[in-house]
Amino acid sequence: VRPLHARTLVGIPEIRPGDDLAAFIDAAAAPGGLMAGDVLAIAHTAVSKSEGALVELGSVHPSARARELAEQQGKDPRLVQVVLDESDEVLRAERGVLISRTRHGLVCANAGVDASNSGGRETVVLLPRDPDASARALRRRLRELAEVHDHQGAPAVVITDTFGRPWRLGQTDVAIGLAGLIPFDDWRGRRDAEGQELRATVLAVADAVAGLVDLAREKDSREPVVLVSGLERFVTEDDGPGARALVRPPDEDLFR
Amino acid sequence: VRPLHARTLVGIPEIRPGDDLAAFIDAAAAPGGLMAGDVLAIAHTAVSKSEGALVELGSVHPSARARELAEQQGKDPRLVQVVLDESDEVLRAERGVLISRTRHGLVCANAGVDASNSGGRETVVLLPRDPDASARALRRRLRELAEVHDHQGAPAVVITDTFGRPWRLGQTDVAIGLAGLIPFDDWRGRRDAEGQELRATVLAVADAVAGLVDLAREKDSREPVVLVSGLERFVTEDDGPGARALVRPPDEDLFR
């Protein structure tokens, strides 16, 4: 196994709607450039901003339900309305946090709506409308740029968000969008050197890669992209099933 | 921020009770040796075996409750008895999996009892009795060895296990024992370049480091130790609060 190496890409500017994020990434990765077996882990806020997935709170008219929840939880009713708009179902409202299942099926706080990192106090950042499609589009564009520059191909793309965990304190980054990286490494049925079946383990490789974003960069550094090498064995030519495959179907949720 | 670099340590033999695991690690890290700011992520099975945290199933006499649960879940009643012995509370028994809160407060499948990786079909591996104490002891011993060899000090130690997640498919490694690495990187109250408060984020750094174990090694390679550099900013001279700090207190568990 090759050693794993991760570094933040320096010099990506604050992203605005319509920006060509892939071109900024391609430029920031020079002169080494991006290799076909590399993996890019990208904080979703950069992707959301480039896609214009932003809401001006001044344009939001909170419903009666949003105003009620906001009062209970001590939140801005306009922000609560945006969270409701992004949610299929609110699972909990407690201690100032709304936990919901988003339109993508993700269970997380505030439906992934981010009131910081937005470049303005009255603007919030949503999750990308379809994060797997965003990852595929970024990979496609990176492949185009690689051909122009005669680089060695397009890396895999992992789009991340920071989620809490029910039984553990603190948050970790997980994969919400994915292209070209296998979501799982399935070890079931493989046998060890003594022929004994290994523990039923399906490693969530894409989430482990997403966790690297926390480690390789400083959170306030405005460096939303981490370049990882040494994971070639998990990278595929096809874009694959995406991060949607990591979402546990509600009927398999052990905790409902 | 320094780039992050992770590699498996090659040449650590199958561990047996009483083995000096730290000495094997120290030898495997040569000639580069271990640096004071390095982090060692160690799969708990190696630690458990060195501490003799093993149970011969032939010596186990299953209780009536163990026999009943085993029949319901299609499991070996002796294994179920070991899981019960390791559990403070069984939270769920479903689809062949017992989810319990261990004596350490960890919520996981089968109380962390591992029927593979044990070096024999009739032996199971438990979690270390006190994984934070195990991590401190390993770090202390590594420091002693560093002094003997005139290395540059002892690295931080993270002991890992592979856990499932309620809302997401697949498993990831988390920190169950910790010495010399901060469990959290607390960003609350920090402000971005525009003076706006960053999202209330407390990164579970130790769990993100544990996740590297999945990425840096092959699961069947019998290489239980991954050496990580580039995380000096999270490493402390003191051993710190340990991985116990990552366990959400039951009264803060949003899902009970």
Give the 3-state secondary structure of residue B180: coil
- Is the CB of B199 less than 8 angstroms away from the CB of A5? no
Collect all residues of chain B within an 8 Å Cβ-Cβ radius of residue A220.
Answer: 187, 190-193, 198
Residue type, A6: A
User: Does the CB of A3 have a partner CB in chain B at under 8 Å?
Assistant: yes
Nearest to B172 among A198, A204, A212 (CB): A204
- Is the CB of A201 less than 8 angstroms away from the CB of B219? yes
Residue type, A101: R
Q: What is the pTM of this model?
A: 0.92
User: DSSP states of B19-40 as a string?
Assistant: --HHHHHHHHHTTT--BTT-EE
Report which of A123, A129, A65 is spatially closest to residue A98, judged by C-alpha positions: A65
Over the stretch B23-48, which tens digit does the pLDDT of each residue have? 999 999 987 788 889 999 999 999 99
Collect all residues of chain A within an 8 Å Cβ-Cβ radius of residue B209.
Answer: 215
Two tokens, residue B242: 């340990």
Residue type, B132: D
The answer to whether residue B83 scores a pLDDT higher than 60 is yes
CA distance B30 to A173: 33
% of chain A with per-residue pLDDT over 90: 63
Longest dimension (CA), chain A: 65
The answer to whether residue B93 scores a pLDDT higher than 80 is yes
The answer to whether residue A193 scores a pLDDT higher than 60 is no
- Is the CB of A172 less than 8 angstroms away from the CB of B211? yes
Q: What ipTM was reported for this prediction?
A: 0.91
Average per-residue pLDDT in chain A? 88
- Is the CB of B212 less than 8 angstroms away from the CB of A209? no
Report which of A106, A112, A109, A116 is spatially closest to residue A126, judged by C-alpha positions: A112
The dihedral formed by the CA atoms of A106, A161, A181 and A27, expressed in degrees to the nearest 10: 150
pLDDT grade for A142, boundaries at 50, 70 and 90 = very high
pLDDT grade for B253, boundaries at 50, 70 and 90 = low
CA distance B175 to B184: 11
pLDDT grade for B187, boundaries at 50, 70 and 90 = confident
Query: What integer pLDDT is reported at residue B35 of this predicted model?
Result: 86
Report which of B254, B207, B216 is spatially closest to residue B234, judged by C-alpha positions: B207
Query: What integer pLDDT is reported at residue A59 of this predicted model?
Result: 95
User: What count of Cα atoms within 13 Å lies in the side-chain half-sphere of residue B230?
Assistant: 22
- Among B residues 180-219, those touching chain A with beta carbons less than 8 Å apart: 183-185, 187, 190-194, 196-199, 201-205, 207-209, 211-212, 214-219
Contacts of A224 (CB under 8 A, 6+ apart): A12, A15, A42, A43, A45, A46, A217
CA distance B108 to B91: 10
Collect all residues of chain B within an 8 Å Cβ-Cβ radius of residue A7.
Answer: 3-4
Collect all residues of chain B within an 8 Å Cβ-Cβ radius of residue A4.
Answer: 4-7, 212, 215-216
Nearest to B162 among A169, A201, A246 (CB): A201
DSSP assignment, residue B13?
P
The answer to whether residue A195 scores a pLDDT higher than 60 is no
